[in-house]
Amino acid sequence: MSELQLDTLLEATLFGAGRSMSVTELCDSLGYDEDEMLDCLYSLRSTLKRRRGGALQIAEVGDRWAIEVKPDIAEHLPKEAKTELPKKLLKAASLIAYHQPMSQSRLVELLGQKAYDYVRELA
């Protein structure tokens, strides 16, 4: 079997993970250095953006990266294909998004000790 290109491995890894991943996690998983990984992430994001009729995009949120359905496509998906954030995580996610960047200790001040569990589930 021929060696797969980094962009192919990266796209498959982000898709298969089903969650956002840091550059460090991606480097550790795929065995590449940070500069190569960042170059590939930006390149893949650009490629997916230009892909005609493509439904997916690469999103960078803080220091994490994820593959997701483009918003204009997501609104047309059937209910069964949409993943909803559980209500217990919605407040934590909203606070993090609004105050980004936000330290975990600040989130704990606002939500209490359960914030640690929420962050782990959101990651």
What is the predicted pLDDT for the residue at 38? Answer: 96
What is the predicted pLDDT for the residue at 1? Answer: 35
Q: Which residue has the tokens 């993970």?
A: 17
Distance between CA atoms of 66 and 11, rounded to whole angstroms? 9
- Examine the pLDDT at 115 and tell me if it is beyond 50: yes
Distance between CA atoms of 4 and 25, rounded to whole angstroms? 19
- Single-letter residue type at 28: D
Distance between CA atoms of 111 and 117, rounded to whole angstroms? 11
pLDDT tens-digit readout, 41-58: 999 999 999 988 888 999
Question: 40 vs 61, which has greater pLDDT?
Answer: 40
pLDDT tens-digit readout, 61-111: 888 999 888 888 888 878 766 666 677 777 888 888 777 788 889 888 888
The domain defined by 6-74 folds into Arc Repressor Mutant, subunit A (1.10.10)
Dihedral of CA atoms 52, 25, 93, 60 in degrees, nearest 10, equals: -30
Q: How confident is the model at residue 2 (pLDDT cuts 50, 70, 90)?
A: very low
Domain ranges of the chain: 6-74, 84-122
What is the predicted pLDDT for the residue at 83? Answer: 67
